[in-house]
Structure 1
Amino acid sequence: MKSKSAPYVFADSTANSALAQLHSARERFGGGEQLPAALMPGLLPDSVARSWARSRDAGLRPWEAPEYELLKSTRSTRESHDDRRLYSCVVDEIEQLWDAFGGDDWTIFCVNPQGTVIHARRSPACDDDLILPIIAGRRILESHIGTTAPSCVLHEGIEVTVAGGQHYLDEFERVSCLAVPLYGLHGEVIGALDLTGTGQRDLTQVKEQFRLAALAAEQRLFATLRGCHLLRVQHDPRWLATPLAGVLAVEEDGTLRAASRMARRMFAVAHGGHLPALSLRDLFDDAPLAQLSRLLRPQRNPLRIARADGSHVWVQYARAPLNRSTARRMDVPPAMDEALSPVAPESGAKNGATLEEQTLIAVQNAMIEHGGNVAAVARQLRVSRTTVYARLRQLRETGMLSERGEAQ
């Protein structure tokens, strides 16, 4: 029995030793000393060490209590266009992540570049003093609460995990958090998607899901663009309907307006900053002109386009240009676009409305009836919650539903 339990005792003692080292180094660092070289990078990643330095430079000390800043504005916490757009792109992903990973001692939330929480999801049963303050309108700032995964993401632009003693404030020693960056149309960081919980956690188990959620949110961001074609690109056609597909926003003359980070990676375009002057001809340099001309026209099947380096890329036409007179609609991947055949047309549907319009109205009415409870809507309409989320994206984009689930 002793031989079997020894590894667990050793693991616990190792973890306690690491926590003790971090705690001691943090106290000395807060008092003005330098960090011991032995801590880095084994116990304290460089990105987290830089956050400690920023926290100390802001005048915060490890033994102080955290203070979540609440915006003083009496207006909406999502008063800017950028914040509203960010919310519309992440809210459904957060809800789906919550369905998979939520719990009484967890919260999942998104912050904008200024550290303001745009949307947060936690259990009504949560009573943890470190999680309860994380609500829309609060700000996650190093000057107030020290090192956190979202603050590191906003400064570094990379995925960050901060666990236990890696936090700068002593009170956060029992907290673990993972955050992934959200990138905008020009490769800039527009926010961070975060999972925060108390207790010892193995966050490696959820990293991939959060990475995919961030990519899916970025795809929705491209769907808000007007006046351009949208193309999905991937080396494997089976991934075209997934968050792993790249997205190209293309002008009528074939020039690129924007490219997602996955598309930039596929075409070896520098990440971050505005795109250089590029066209479809530059990207698909070995494709015949006749084939290039087909890229900006709807096709039943994706096109396989060869490149001069011997590789090839599959291209799927996703959406035609939108203008102000056209209701904006989200580009929903086929896997997310289940038919709502069981839904009967509501009495409020307009005469002559298409089945698609009647379906949206049915979801709209159910959302209002159930106060925005997606699970209740799915039960009433006898569809999956994934289907409801897909239709909600369409409703928000067409302006038929507000962020609170209210009719417009």
Structure 2
Amino acid sequence: MTVTELDARLNAVRSHYRVSPWIQARDDEAPLLRSWQRCVDAGMREHERINFELVSRAALAEIDEHHGALVRQTRPETERLAQAVRGTGAAVMLFNTRGVVIDRLCHEAATPATLLTASRVGVNVNERCVGTTAPAIALRDGLPYLVGRDAHFFANTRPFFCVAAPIDSPQGERLAALDITTYDSVPGFDIYSLVVDAAAAIENSLFTAGTDRLLVHFHPRAELVGTPMEGLLQVNGEGLVIGANRVAARLLCTSRAALIGREFGELFDRRLQSLFARPARLRADLVEMSTHVGLQVMARFEGASALNDAASGEGYQRQVAASDAPRCDLPEAPANMRELERQAIEQALAALGGNVSAAARQLGISRNTIYRRRNGLAD
């Protein structure tokens, strides 16, 4: 692909961000350019005709065996998404790490036949098969991505408009990608936020407390503890982090991989032993803590009683000593979760003089999330 051809394609792609009010200008074109270059290096030609073919019968038979549990666990969110886009002609899909469709939900009567064919369970949309797609970029680069029209490498896939987000385990292992795709139309609604929020909710649902682990919910704003915007950490019986979500990594100013294996006392100014020593009736209350970077957060501990016996273990003894945490009751939250998030963003922007970057850091979310919500702030 020549420089002139590349510039022409990029200009065409950029023009798509002006066709719908919810589509924001792309922050990072590098994943798209890398995908195009891989297609060129593989000898692909943009005017080749692409057919959305199923994997082998043997591979198709293995989908339920290998991915059935994940499909069932994601169904509450994928069904919610399918209901949200019902009648729009969009399809909600879940892909495994190889780019194969392992689940699809859509209103078939309203979905174009071409999209029904392309979204069948067992269709492989790996980059080597169909070129540049949002699921392929989400799986490879680990970030939500939008691919529409000329952003697709192959000409006959350009009527598709897709948004995908990766789904990772609490340990940061890539599990799947969630996607919403339309055909021959630019959605008039914010499918980007729908996909990103649903992927975050699915990831958070994978965090569990138990007899061998503690679940820590935390955020600088007390009213956001217990929402999809909260940070989550899994801590084992030795006081070591064994799982973290994306928000936790942002709030603690590090990567998810760097959090795994860290001691709780290295990250916060509270000693787990003192928290578990409190009366049982107080263990579910919010407590105030300071992170290792000086950020004040409110936290709630789930499964604390299960780890009470282990609180005197060697791992906990190594942690930084601190006084018992004060009780802090969770304020009453609005019934509508999106309204709660909207209020938090509005308050943060007002307090920080409209500084989007500072508000994003305080809330533990991306700048793009704030931009996508700003139309809502004006309602």
Structure 1, residues 269-300: CA drift from partner, whole Å, max 9, x if none? 224x3645312211113x36764445997724
- The 1-side partners of 2:37 and 2:188 are apart by 25
Give, in angstroms, the shift of residue 111 of structure 1: 0.8
Do the aligned partners of 2:252 and 2:293 also contact (CA within 8 Å) in 1? Answer: no
Residues 321 and 214 (structure 1), Cα distance of their counterparts in 2 relative to 1, 3 Å cut: farther
Partner of 2:104: 120
Structure 1, residues 79-100: CA drift from partner, whole Å, max 9, x if none? 22xx334323322111101111
Percent of aligned pairs with the same amino acid: 24
Q: Does 1:265 align with 2:250?
A: yes
Structure 1, residues 59-114: CA drift from partner, whole Å, max 9, x if none? 4322222223423216341322xx33432332211110111123352111111211
Q: Which moved more, 1:141-150 or 1:124-133?
A: 124-133
Structure 1, residues 227-262: CA drift from partner, whole Å, max 9, x if none? 312121111121122111121111123221111111
Structure 2 counterpart of 1:113, one-letter code: T
**Which of 288, 306, 317 is the aligned partner of 2:290?**
306
Residues 102 and 256 (structure 1), Cα distance of their counterparts in 2 relative to 1, 3 Å cut: same
Partner of 2:119: 134
Give, in angstroms, the shift of residue 186 of structure 1: 2.3
Please give the root-mean-square deviation of Cα atoms over the aligned residues, in Å. Answer: 3.1
Partner of 1:228: 213
Structure 1 counterpart of 2:152, one-letter code: H
Residues 321 and 303 (structure 1), Cα distance of their counterparts in 2 relative to 1, 3 Å cut: closer
Partner of 1:318: 302
Q: Does 1:53 align with 2:37?
A: yes
Residues 204 and 55 (structure 1), Cα distance of their counterparts in 2 relative to 1, 3 Å cut: farther
Partner of 2:61: 75
Per the normalisation by structure 1, the TM-score is 0.63
Gaps of 5+ in 1: 1-28, 323-333, 338-408
Residues 95 and 308 (structure 1), Cα distance of their counterparts in 2 relative to 1, 3 Å cut: closer
Partner of 1:181: 166
- The 2-side partners of 1:295 and 1:172 are apart by 60
- The 2-side partners of 1:187 and 1:179 are apart by 17
Residues 150 and 124 (structure 1), Cα distance of their counterparts in 2 relative to 1, 3 Å cut: same
Instruction: Kindly indicate whether structure 1 or structure 2 has the higher relative contact order, using CA contacts under 8 Å at least 6 residues apart.
Output: 2
- The 2-side partners of 1:188 and 1:90 are apart by 16
Greater Cα radius of gyration, structure 1 or 2: 1
Residues 141 and 281 (structure 1), Cα distance of their counterparts in 2 relative to 1, 3 Å cut: same
Q: How many pairs are equivalent?
A: 291
Partner of 2:240: 255
Q: Does 1:171 align with 2:156?
A: yes
Q: Does 1:278 align with 2:247?
A: no
Structure 1, residues 174-221: CA drift from partner, whole Å, max 9, x if none? 221111122222223322111110233157723222221111100111
Per the normalisation by structure 2, the TM-score is 0.68
Q: Does 1:94 align with 2:63?
A: no
Residues 49 and 226 (structure 1), Cα distance of their counterparts in 2 relative to 1, 3 Å cut: farther
- The 2-side partners of 1:221 and 1:296 are apart by 29
Secondary structure, counterpart of 1:258 in structure 2: strand
Q: Does 1:107 align with 2:107?
A: no
Partner of 1:360: none
